Amino acid sequence: MGIKTGLTGKEKAAVLLISLGPDKAAKIFQHLNEEEIEELTLEIANMRKISPDEKDRILEEFYQVCLAQEYISEGGINYAKEILEKALGSQKAFDIVHKLTASLQVRPFDFARKAEASQLLNFIQNEHPQTIALILSYLGAQQAGQILSALPQNKQTEVAKRIAIMDRTTPEIIKEVESVLENKLSAMVTQDYTATGGIQTIVDVLNSVDRGTEKFIMEKLEIEDVELVEEIKKRMFVFEDVATLDGSSIQRFIRDIEQSELAVALKGATEEVQEIIFKNMSKRMAEMIKEDMQFMGPVRLRDVEEAQQKIVNNIRKLEEAGELIIARGGGDEIIA
């Protein structure tokens, strides 16, 4: 028999939230929409007294479903079923996996994310740029960056542009492309339009390609769509990424920045970024900037963002001039 408590799914969720306590329940609420929060709050308010055994069964069910979800992520549904059968027996494993897969939404191209970039390249390099863009949009940034770097140059720009301007793709098209790429995959996608691609996707991909590929794509894109390139550039390297620069690169851009401007920028920076920048300047200069930050009082967020953006723009100019290095994927190894 499957796990039974006599309660509805919402009632079980309410029991779980009560058991977890207010702090953890509040964190879960942050991931729910208003309607779900309202329904669960009502269930919690109307919750009848339940026995300790019933409560334990609900917590155990939740734990088993979480384990099953983890197993599915690791190796797929069959792998999860096999592991759960060994631990819980055939019937219980079937009940849990069935419960999960009934509402499970597997992200499109899940199989592709587990494949080697070189294998995928062989499959898709001769496809239409729109098809390649769709597939890369669903891959991890590093994997997509490797593939984009390896595409013929005449396709790189077109694919990058199509990823950037991609908005929503119908489930039918996604399924069709999936079936061509992997006939054995039984895709489970939502019946809604699925959002993918966009500016941030191509930014993540370009941050993972080698500098040569990025430069080529950006230069070609700039000829076609200046506004798109400017929007991409704004997100390619943000102020927090200063923490990824090597010491000599940090020392180089500091030389070009006025002390007062750096103080404003650091006022809204993370402790990690502050510490790294202070570490790469003289002790006297660090103390002076810290004093400036302390005595300037509250600073408008807009002023902090403007100061940080000036520094980012300066860093990108220095990189283009070859005076500092922004570490990237796709073969941008640094040789000492």
What is the per-residue pLDDT for 189?
32
- Return d(Cα 27, Cα 23) in angstroms, integer: 7
What b/e sequence results for 257-293 when a residue is b if at least 16 CB atoms lie within 10 Å of its CB, and e otherwise?
beeebbbbbbbbbeeebbebbbebbeeeebeebeebb
Q: Where in the chain is the domain with CATH 1.10.220.30?
A: 110-234, 237-320
List average pLDDT for each run of 10 residues in the chain, which is 336 residues long.
57 80 77 73 72 80 71 61 70 66 56 71 82 84 86 88 78 70 41 54 73 77 82 78 88 91 90 92 93 86 85 85 71 42
Q: What kind and span of H or E run contains 277? A: helix 271-279
Number of H helices, E strands in the chain: 20, 2
At 273-308, the pLDDT tens digits run 999 999 999 999 999 999 988 888 888 888 888 888
CATH class of segment(s) 237-320: mainly alpha
> What is the rounded CA–CA span in Å between residue 131 and residue 230?
25
Topology annotation, domain 110-234:
Annexin V; domain 1 (1.10.220)
pLDDT at position 290 = 92
The string of pLDDT tens digits covering residues 156-212 is 988 998 888 887 666 677 777 766 665 533 333 333 334 455 777 777 777 677 667
Length of the chain: 336
